[in-house]
Amino acid sequence: MTPYDKEKFDKLTNTSYLFRIIFGNAGFDLSYVHIGDNEIWHAYYGETIIGTITTRQADTDDDKVTYTNLRLYKYFRDKFPELEDFVMSKYFDVEDGKRVRFDFDKFEKYVGTILEVFKDKIQHHDKDDSVKEANSVEDAIARLKEYCDEFDEKFSNNIMFKDIRLLLDENERLTKALAAKSDKIMKLFLNN
């Protein structure tokens, strides 16, 4: 992150500075993208986008703190069901309705689970760039579908959303056409 990006992220919520520091120290990168009028922050590990950064005020806090959280992308959770979203409010020790301490040990366990998944299940792709590239395109399509699913199509006039939806529909049509052609070629090949 650039110094400008760090300052911008740190001002998002009461806890965004802490979020950036603890995830940065664990080896994650944070980045944002503008989609239409929206600025969406993502968490990366290596070259893999694992989730989007969200904010939420905890119901249990008397001091009304807005927490910075990590919502894992659905495609990522589907690949690794043992992982769960990071909800920062669950990592604070609270006494008498006030935050008293961040539980770094609990956070280390959470990050350790993610890093274990990367060590065992993703790093082996580094040797075969074609596999890595194919997975990243598949993952990008899954992220775009998830992004579009959050919009209400009937009431959205967002041109970017409509363009993405059109591209996804065309990708789906071409994928089905390719599968049909592949089946036809295999049948011809097997008959001869």
- Is the confidence at residue 142, as pLDDT, over 80? no
Per-residue pLDDT reduced to its tens digit, 38-87: 778 888 887 778 888 888 876 655 567 788 899 988 878 887 888 889 98
Q: What is the pTM of this model?
A: 0.65
Task: State how far the Cα of 121 lies from the Cα of 18, in Å rounded to an integer.
Answer: 29
Range among 38-42, 139-143, 150-154 rated most confident: 38-42
Per-residue pLDDT reduced to its tens digit, 109-137: 988 888 887 775 554 444 454 444 445 77
What is the structure's pLDDT at 158?
67
What is the structure's pLDDT at 156?
63
pLDDT tier for residue 2 given thresholds of 50, 70 and 90: confident
What contacts 104, CB < 8 A, 6 or more positions away? 22
What is the structure's pLDDT at 150?
66
What is the structure's pLDDT at 5?
83
Reference 95, options 107, 86, 103; nearest CA is: 103
Alpha-helical regions (H) of 48-103: 74-79
Which tokens is 38 given?
Answer: 């929206």
Residue 1 CB-density burial (10 A; 0-12 exposed, 13-18 middle, 19+ buried) = middle
Per-residue pLDDT reduced to its tens digit, 5-23: 888 888 888 888 888 898 8
Q: In which order are the strands placed within the sheet that holds 28-35?
A: 28-35, 38-45, 48-57, 66-72
The one-letter amino acid at 94? V
HSE of 173 in the Cβ direction (CA atoms, 13 Å)?
6
